[in-house]
Structure 1
Amino acid sequence: MSLFIYHTTSEVLILLVYVDDILVIGSSQKLISHFISYLHDKFALRDLDPLSYFLGIQAHYQGSILHLNQQKYIIDLLNCTHKENSKPTPTPGSLGSTLSQLNGVPLPNPFEYHRTIGALQYITLTRHDIAFAINKACQFMSKPSGVHWLAVK
């Protein structure tokens, strides 16, 4: 995914580009229309309905306010990792425990750890409250152990 930002003193245009999907957001409808016309002259474009879902992020409009969440993405991750019946906790991560490279036995196949951490990193786009815990888990990507995996779960 690529992020492009164009701004002047009074206008902002943000582009999120992923393969063949482009999301254009801006502070000026005139600027957005001009940019889309420019792209349409260069490429075959199809303008879809108003934004509702883009790359795992749901968008809901409340008047002129745009709310973003990843509820569906999070539920899919919980189902994929068989954690859909887990109890919520107000604090991400274990309180009082310190993780290090020396903890536990290395995982024989760290694929699931890597995949889950990558998905959790993506969730930090809308859930900043888990960023510290996810960053801590990322520090063990090169050699995760069973203790690290337990902390992630």
Structure 2
Amino acid sequence: MEFKDVLKALKADNQSIELIAEYLGYQVGLNPVNADGDWRIYFSPRVEDKEAGVMAIRPVEELSPSTSTMEIRKLYQQVTALTESFGGSFAVSAVAFVGQQRLVVFPATAGNRDTRLDLNPDTITKNLYLDNLEQLKDANGRL
């Protein structure tokens, strides 16, 4: 399956989180710090130790192809809040948000609101975006 097909199916729901995990090659688990929250964690099936995850991801109803850059930048506040909530007990390499035909991924640390991979119907045709998406796959082990 190509990611453009995945992107067309994305919504702000847990089924989309599962679909992205399948495409990237990850297992989905609960947030070990707050299992009742909206955040899900991607774990590598190659790593038995679940004291760190690869990516935290959550659905955002308001996220769509028409979401403005300013609104996307505001999502970064949630990245900071999430990583602070983990403290020293847990960590992820990336934080993502999924909505209607849109996936936005920020680095969990050493990034800022402008350092992101924003996959939507406009960017999915660009090689740079597709190459960066490929780097997120578990098989490539970059995170």
Same fold, TM-score > 0.5, yes or no: no
Choose between structure 1 and 2 for higher RCO, CA contacts under 8 A separated by at least 6 residues. 2
Structure whose CA Rg is larger: 1
Normalised by the size of structure 1, how large is the TM-score?
0.24
Normalised by the size of structure 2, how large is the TM-score?
0.26
